[in-house]
Amino acid sequence: MANSLHRSKAGKRGPEKLTGQKEMNGASINPIYAVAPPQLRRSHSPSPSSPQPTAQIRSSSFEAKLSLYRRLK
């Protein structure tokens, strides 16, 4: 009895989390493309092992999220 209840709760929680993540990704990806397209182009270079471009993308995405948050406020 307890197991079936637990399973149904987990099943309800799963898709909600997934859709939430998709929305967050969509919201964070669009500003990145608008703010820093050259950094994204660099990430698709033949040598993806270099850590610099990913760090730049992370910082730009953080700035984009901040600007989004300020706009919503």
Overall domain count for the chain? 1
**pLDDT at 19 exceeding the cut of 80:** no
Phi and psi at residue 50, in whole multiples of 5°?
-70, 130
Quick one: pLDDT at residue 61? 76
**pLDDT at 73 exceeding the cut of 60:** yes
Compute the average pLDDT of residues 2-18. 53
The amino acid sitting at 43 is S
Beta strands in 1-73 (DSSP E): none
**pLDDT at 65 exceeding the cut of 60:** yes
Q: Residue 45: which domain range?
A: 2-72
